[in-house]
Structure 1
Amino acid sequence: MNKDVFIGILLLLVAVSCHSRPSEESSASELRETINTRLNKVEGDFAVAFRVMGEDPLTLLINEKETFHAASTMKTPVMIALYNQVAMGNVSLDDSVKIVNEFKSIVDGSPYRMDLSVDSQEGLYSRIGQYSTYRELNYEMITMSSNLATNILIDKLDAKKITETMRSLGAMDIEVLRGVEDLKAYERGLSNTTTAYDLMLIMEAIAARNAVSEEASLAMFEVLKAQHFNEIIPGQLPEEVVVAHKTGSITGVRHDSGIVQLPSGEKYVLILLSKNLNDPEEGIRAMSDVSKILYDFVKNKEG
């Protein structure tokens, strides 16, 4: 064969190969562009942290280090800290805990109470003065996003120790400062905050079964699977897809943070944060669309 013809055929084969199997970098770039195009249609600010786990990892980050009010996503750090205390032998999940509705502001120690009208778990309020367990309070905190359960747990676990537990997982920016509805603290700008990147790290630790321990990680995954609020990450996904996640919302803010497991066993972590939303429902729809875009990407990649 003529040398020039051989070289030409070789170059053609290389070109065809490059076009038929796009590089991971180009795939991520196209994915980023698609996601940004969808989110840019909504008035508000967003952050995305996405990581495919396993032998063929891929990470996509958008505004991942920007600070957001954590809203109820901070309840996952509380859960991890609880299981950490259990592992240390300081408490048992089945220890009795009194249900109370009086907490101290971090500003001056003055008492405040939770308002049932702004909570999502009314059942506990009818049991004030009675006893629950750490296990039940944790379940209500995650699955129903009970603020009362959250404050009881934070009071028992200590916000500083919760934040220290996050640091041990490499999450250097999550700050759990206080319980919910501490208005004096809120007025002084003292709020629980997070970044998409840090939430990705702690969800990845649970998914990889090394948050506290394998047993604890599996237990936390099961609790996150029972999430009651499913509009964002699972909103458009097939029923057979498992989503273990924690949402969060306050005025102008809608979040979702979780682990997605396909029937094949492949997992990915997805964090979707938002703030300054003029139309929260529109923000939810956009983030749900992003979740579907990423699921389709992983599914096609898997195939």
Structure 2
Amino acid sequence: MRTLKSDTLLIASCIIMLLSCQSKVTKEKLGKNIASVLGQQSGVFAVAFKDLTTGEEILIDERESFHAASTMKTPVLIEVCKQVVAGKFSLTDSIVLKNEFKSIVDSSVFTLDPQDDSEQELYNHLGEKRSISSLAYDMIIASSNLATNLIIELVDAKNVTQTMRDLGARDIQVLRGVEDAKAFDRGLINTTTAYDLMVIFEKIANGEAVNPEASQIMIGILSDQKFNEIIPAKLPKDVKVAHKTGNIAGVNHDSGIVFLPDGRKYIVVLLSKEAKDEKAAIAAMASVSEMIYSYMMQP
């Protein structure tokens, strides 16, 4: 026999289920919310999100071309691992630290200004040797421009771009290292799209960037990222994010893999350019990352 208590519990259960259904955010609603948040900012934004369990995607201006800034260092890392597996060199091999590089325009020599580099310690050790693994690590986690140029000189930018094509990233263009002023003046810049970064991070997440072992090495390096103002900024501290940022004047990017406590993974890429208020743009993209996380974590 049903009692008043059982009826009350049944009604309460139905109400909870109804409220849960009403509050559940759909993919379409999330996309609109993201567009609304970014639409309130000055500048141009692109978003690429992919749930690696379901294949569900949200893409906003995903083919828009952006100055790659330091996001191009992820493709360079992939190429390093590819050449290691091919036997061209070992991660334990060493490179002599130098601050002289050749412009892709006319091979004239240029140097990097330590004050323009986010990692300056290496400049105190010019003439000394550093392992390829340590330089690749500094290139990613501290976004060292000096390490980047040394690594690109080793693997060749043309090889990086070709590897991106082989992985299915049709628009990423890695032409050169950092601070090649003559190339910059001629419009020869490294470019990317949100879609292409999503493609290569999916390859890394699935163990398909070079091979599973190399992909795990890359995830380990990317997980130590020091710059965490966008994707991880508003996520719980125990959520693992393997990512690479990029920024120059008016340009702020972040791209990577988010690992959820239950084992699921998703890719998120947030790109911006022409932002008049960079702090506001960064905060807005951090909010978008939080919205995507909340979407993934809802019952």
The one of 176, 183, 198 aligned to 1:178: 176
Structure 1 position 90 matched with structure 2 position 110: no
Q: Distance in 2 between matches of 1:238 and 1:207?
A: 20
User: Where does residue 61 of structure 1 map in the other structure?
Assistant: 59
TM-align CA RMSD: 1.7
Q: Distance in 1 between matches of 2:226 and 2:289?
A: 18
Q: Measure how far apart 1:28 and its partner are.
A: 2.1
Q: Distance in 2 between matches of 1:252 and 1:122?
A: 23
Structure 1 position 209 matched with structure 2 position 207: yes
Amino acid across the alignment from 1:32:
G
Amino acid across the alignment from 1:135:
S
User: Where does residue 250 of structure 2 map in the other structure?
Assistant: 252
Q: Deviations over 1:18-40 (max 9, x none)?
A: x9879x9x922211110011001
User: Where does residue 228 of structure 2 map in the other structure?
Assistant: 230
Alignment of 1:11-160 (within 5 A): 27-54=26-53, 56-160=54-158
- Say whether the 8 Å CA contact 1:241–1:260 is kept in structure 2: yes
Amino acid across the alignment from 1:228:
K
User: Where does residue 290 of structure 1 map in the other structure?
Assistant: 288
User: Where does residue 7 of structure 2 map in the other structure?
Assistant: none
- Say whether the 8 Å CA contact 1:240–1:262 is kept in structure 2: no
Amino acid across the alignment from 1:90:
K
Amino acid across the alignment from 1:262:
L
SS at match of 1:269: strand
Q: Distance in 2 between matches of 1:90 and 1:262?
A: 36
SS at match of 1:49: strand
User: Where does residue 12 of structure 1 map in the other structure?
Assistant: none
Q: Measure how far apart 1:209 and its partner are.
A: 0.9
Q: Distance in 2 between matches of 1:161 and 1:114?
A: 23
SS at match of 2:292: helix
User: Where does residue 5 of structure 2 map in the other structure?
Assistant: none
**Structure 1 gap ranges (5+):** 1-16
TM-score, length of structure 2 as denominator length: 0.92
Amino acid across the alignment from 2:237:
E
- Say whether the 8 Å CA contact 1:253–1:276 is kept in structure 2: yes
SS at match of 2:26: helix
Q: Distance in 2 between matches of 1:20 and 1:100?
A: 60
Amino acid across the alignment from 1:155:
E
User: Where does residue 14 of structure 2 map in the other structure?
Assistant: none
Q: Distance in 2 between matches of 1:257 and 1:150?
A: 18
Amino acid across the alignment from 2:47:
V
Q: Deviations over 1:92-140 (max 9, x none)?
A: 0000111110000001110000100000111110111110011000000
Q: Deviations over 1:73-108 (max 9, x none)?
A: 000000000000001000100001111100000011
Report the identity percentage. Answer: 52
| Distance change in 2, residues 1:287/1:153 (3 Å) | same
SS at match of 1:201: helix
SS at match of 2:179: coil
Q: Measure how far apart 1:263 and its partner are.
A: 1.0
Q: Distance in 1 between matches of 2:49 and 2:94?
A: 38
User: Where does residue 190 of structure 2 map in the other structure?
Assistant: 192
Alignment of 1:260-271 (within 5 A): 260-271=258-269
User: Where does residue 14 of structure 1 map in the other structure?
Assistant: none
- Say whether the 8 Å CA contact 1:45–1:275 is kept in structure 2: yes
Q: Distance in 2 between matches of 1:266 and 1:131?
A: 40
SS at match of 2:247: strand
SS at match of 2:46: strand
Q: Distance in 2 between matches of 1:28 and 1:240?
A: 25
Q: Distance in 1 between matches of 2:272 and 2:166?
A: 26
Amino acid across the alignment from 2:29:
E
Amino acid across the alignment from 2:222:
L
Amino acid across the alignment from 2:61:
N
SS at match of 1:61: strand
